[in-house]
Structure 1
């Protein structure tokens, strides 16, 4: 049996640099692909971060399977090459494939994307829209498309540049294509998810991006708090340490009972670490309140030990699956 259709089919993942948005995008693709779904994971920045996460060779400009999930689902990945996307665009709308190849030899494509930086984003969003709406034998090829998008600082511009291009012409293939892209990106089948850390700057950038996206009429999805840590102390001791009321003298008797050599110095060092940890946790908790005030669905992903590999991606995907089920039920 075919899986139930998803209410959101285009998931755009953004976040301040360093928040782990590529990792979250990959985990989200795995979560969406569970139970037999087919998902495309798209990379837009040319860093080959997806290939590194799934431990595969660098991705060419073609859709390749990178993972199989529960129930026979699969994740394919695509690293969009701007030059190839432009050639594809010229062939699709103007039947100029041969001319496009000649332009590439002349270096005209690099020249065009340099003097018109917005052209790059138009090609990227156009390819994303094509994947979201693609059909074969009357059925959608992908149940969902996940986009590892540019950072929050330019996400609104990235998603909205096609609308600007559409405003430059009243008719023709460019106008039609641009309108089609914006119809998908501004529809309920798209959601822009924001990845943040419980740190001042990422949380502030997240709030700013939400305001910009909302103002531009782009649909905001969830806030994903990445690399969240758990407190190492019980609540009562945590509050005491955060108030700097925990000292080495409080820990010294236990160390002495354990016959720890030079227990006083160790007790002082341990108390200092406990106070630092507790105060850091208190600061994170305040930022949790700020994230909650954004009034969006929120999920926390844990800080995992060691490097992120495929096993770690599936662990994060499990957390995101729970969140997705909650959102669908709501």
Structure 2
């Protein structure tokens, strides 16, 4: 529900406060860089934003195959890794143990954290359906590979994920019934089953109320307005009121079911999300963060 846009918004907001941000995409597509007006990155980092106050945003994409190649290269297989890729052996290695592909990506993120080259690393993680499996992967590998390199890697990743000072999960949704239900279910799975700390939830697509929508329409159309246009304006006003009321109900329901602070981002009307829209969203996010209580 707009998770990539939210990740980009969070990255820009942090950079505007002077932080160095590394924005990592793991879903196999580069969706965030174009929002900054930049070309999609590959496995190598690409700077997509540089702030006058010293902050910056760098983007990179991590795929399991790239992570596996790098891992093998640093563990004594540099000379034969290309031959392994051509022969299909890399795929065999990556799928030999369930969860290894996701562990490789998480392990690479852990290595980036250890490099200490950014104040903040933001991961545009998979959508809810795959996200839970993605985050559960280290547990599965640890329990399957009882000893050895994979076991050690899984334990180190779990140590990172389980430390609230190093990792927080921010869930993203929209103010509608089914997405709110999914957010609540996912939050309990992330915190209670997997053991990760949650940050504030982000609610996208908030439609602000407009003044005057409750006023009755004139009995007849004013000059320059046809009967059809007057009827359409009345329908639009009614739809806007209903939308605002519905989202208010869902936000209240979310607050009752999930005791987490909320960050709310406005609806951006348009077909694309570019630098101007991203800055508008980051303005709203910074304002929301400023009103939050300190994170527990």
Do the structures match in fold with TM over 0.5?
A: yes
Match of 2:282 in 1: 317
Q: Label 1:172 to 1:111 Cα distance change in 2 as closer, same or farther (>3 A).
A: closer
- Counterpart for residue 63 of structure 1: 45
Aligned to 2:250: 287
Measure the CA separation in 2 of the matches of 1:154 and 1:147: 14
Task: Please give the root-mean-square deviation of Cα atoms over the aligned residues, in Å.
Answer: 2.2
SS for the counterpart of 2:80 is helix
In structure 1, the residue matched to 2:273 is 308
Q: TM-score, length-normalised on structure 1?
A: 0.81
What residue number does 2:130 align with?
154
Q: 159, 166, 172: which one pairs with 1:183?
A: 159
Query: Gapped runs of 5+ residues in structure 1?
Result: 1-18, 135-139, 239-249
1:261 CA displacement:
6.0
Residues of 1 paired with 2:285 and 2:241: CA distance?
28
After TM superposition, which residue ranges in structure 1, 4 or more long, deviate above 6 angstroms? none
Q: CA, structure 1 residues 151+96, in 2 after alignment: closer, same or farther (shift >3 Å)? A: same
Alignment match, 1:231: 209
Partner of 1:108: 89
Q: In the alignment, is the contact (CA less than 8 A) between 1:30 and 1:69 conserved in 2? A: no
Tell whether the 8 Å contact from 1:153 to 1:205 is kept in structure 2 after alignment: no
In the alignment, the residues of structure 1 paired with residue 95 and residue 151 of structure 2 have an alpha-carbon distance, to the nearest angstrom, of 22
Deviation string, structure 1 residues 133-166 (Cα, Å, up to 9, x no partner): 21xxxxx211110000001122222112112111
Structure (1 or 2) with the larger CA radius of gyration: 1
- Go from structure 1 to structure 2 and tell me whether the alpha carbon gap of 1:66 and 1:272 turns closer, same or farther (over 3 Å shift): closer
Task: Give the CA deviation at 1:228.
Answer: 0.8
Bigger proportion of residues as strand: 1
Deviation digits for residues 99-152 of structure 1 (CA, Å, limit 9, x no counterpart)? 322210102223444565622211111111111221xxxxx2111100000011
TM-score between the two structures when normalised by the length of structure 2:
0.89
Between 31-40 and 106-115, the greater mean CA deviation after superposition: 106-115
Residues 263, 289 of structure 2: 8 Å contact kept: no
- Structure scoring higher RCO (CA < 8 A, sep ≥ 6) equals 1
Mapped to 1, the partners of 2:292 and 2:246 lie a distance apart of 28
Contact 1:35 1:70 in 2 (8 A): no
Correspondence 1:133-144 to 2 at 5 A: 133-134=114-115, 140-144=116-120
